[in-house]
């Protein structure tokens, strides 16, 4: 078994493996390039055994205070042909090699937020993560279902709101370009819903991603010649994700948020995507937006528990103290 850190020349091979094995856009080569544009170091680790790719994991170096940690969002991605024993073997080998890299890079710990639960090994110091970065739960719509059946599974009020928005003349537009209206709406929503956001430059760079594998669009809902909802939507593999959304509360009765989400579903179906990811639900943290998402039906999915693999015990204790104070 061997590990290679691959480069740009193997982008197609990397993404093809991800798509074949239902990997997240957060593990895509394009997401790694995006992270590099945010001045982060990124490694694409490929594990092979006898010329068979067993596993891929995109590792991002993050900074907390004056210390650093590695982060693997919604990974690693294993070959669907692997047995559970082969997954465990590949994962253990990955940890052995990442531990060597962590020593060179002076890394305190490795944080993994997997899709499914991962095996743990006694020779490594596994800890439950104090706080997740990516959502723990989400809702997935099956886009292979007919429009009629999708609508049938929506809450009655949601179907009514979609028709109402259309009747009121709400229009949906799709663009490849960034608009500063998006950030204005996002900031307003952030204050209402009390969630964290990134600096505006983050979203500008996200909309600049241009790849046959990875498409980013800005969906906007317009009412009375004014943008009242804006959403950044990602198309990757077989799945479409509504990643960041902002809305103008003053125009909530126009039901632009419902109409925009429905039009996103229709656009994804038109492009032959198979799944639509609502991207995160939590009744306690975000009750309003969770209620809206749940009104569209879909199947709830819960990701595996986030784990920290600790390399420097002393500094990790300091990190936990700092995080508890924040």
Q: For residue range 80-93, list pLDDT tens digits in order.
A: 999 999 999 999 99
67, 105 Cβ separation under 8 angstroms: no
Q: pLDDT band at 61, cuts 50/70/90? A: very high
pLDDT of residue 148: 97
Which residue from 35, 100, 20 is spatially nearest to 73, judged by alpha carbons? 35
pLDDT of residue 323: 77
pLDDT of residue 291: 95
Residue with tokens 């809902």: 221
135-172 tens-digit pLDDT: 999 999 999 999 999 999 999 999 999 999 999 999 99
Work out the end-to-end distance of the chain between its first and last CA atoms, rounded to an integer number of angstroms.
Answer: 42
Using DSSP bridges, classify how beta strands 226-236 and 239-247 pair: parallel, antiparallel or unpaired.
antiparallel
Task: State the Cα–Cα distance between residues 162 and 142, nearest whole angstrom.
Answer: 19
24, 71 Cβ separation under 8 angstroms: no
DSSP annotation of 295 reads T
140, 277 Cβ separation under 8 angstroms: yes
Q: How far is CA 183 from CA 7, 86, 317, in A?
A: 33, 45, 36
Q: How many CA atoms lie within 13 A of 151 on its CB side?
A: 12
Q: How far is CA 236 from CA 37, 43, 59, 241, 288, in A?
A: 19, 20, 19, 8, 27
Q: How far is CA 325 from CA 63, 130, 321, in A?
A: 17, 12, 6
Does the pLDDT value for residue 326 go beyond 90?
A: no
292-312 tens-digit pLDDT: 999 999 999 999 999 999 999
At residue 53's C-alpha, the angle toward residues 47 and 57, to 5°, is 45
Residue with tokens 């003349």: 169
Does the pLDDT value for residue 325 go beyond 80?
A: no
pLDDT of residue 192: 86
Report the run of H or E that residue 146 belongs to, with start and end.
none
184-232 tens-digit pLDDT: 999 999 888 878 899 999 999 999 998 999 999 999 999 999 999 999 9
Instruction: Sketch out the chain's domains with CATH numbers.
Output: 2-134+304-325 (3.40.630.30), 137-302 (3.40.630.30)
Does the pLDDT value for residue 28 go beyond 70?
A: yes
């Amino acid at each position: 078994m061997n590990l290679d850190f691959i480069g740009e020349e193997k982008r197609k091979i990397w993404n093809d493996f991800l798509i074949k094995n239902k990997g997240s856009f957060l593990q895509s080569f394009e997401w790694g390039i995006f992270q590099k544009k945010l001045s982060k170091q990124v490694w694409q680790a490929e594990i092979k055994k006898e010329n068979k790719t067993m596993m891929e994991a995109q590792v991002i170096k993050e900074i907390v205070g004056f210390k650093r940690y590695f982060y693997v969002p919604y990974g690693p991605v294993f070959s669907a042909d692997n047995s559970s024993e082969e997954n465990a073997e590949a994962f253990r080998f990955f940890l052995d090699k990442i531990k060597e890299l962590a020593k060179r890079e002076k890394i305190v710990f490795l944080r993994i937020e997997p899709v499914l639960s991962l095996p743990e090994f006694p020779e490594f110091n596994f800890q439950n993560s104090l706080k997740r970065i990516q959502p723990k739960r989400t809702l997935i719509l099956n886009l292979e279902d007919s429009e009629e059946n999708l609508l049938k599974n929506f809450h009655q009020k949601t179907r009514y709101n979609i028709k109402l928005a259309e009747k009121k003349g709400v229009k949906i537009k799709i663009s490849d370009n960034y608009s500063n209206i998006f950030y204005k709406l996002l900031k307003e929503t952030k204050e209402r819903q009390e969630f964290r956001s990134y600096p505006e430059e983050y979203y500008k760079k996200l909309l600049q991603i241009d790849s046959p594998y990875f498409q980013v669009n800005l969906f906007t809902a317009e009412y009375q010649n004014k943008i009242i909802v804006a959403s950044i939507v990602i198309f990757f593999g077989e799945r479409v994700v509504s990643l960041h959304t902002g809305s103008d509360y003053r125009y909530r009765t126009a039901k632009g948020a419902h109409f925009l989400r429905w039009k996103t579903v229709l656009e994804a179906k038109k492009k032959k995507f198979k799944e639509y990811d609502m991207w995160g639900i939590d009744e306690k943290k975000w009750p309003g937006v969770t209620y809206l998402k749940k009104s569209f039906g879909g199947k709830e999915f819960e990701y595996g528990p986030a784990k920290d693999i600790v390399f420097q015990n002393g500094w990790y204790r300091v990190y936990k103290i700092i995080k508890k104070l924040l």
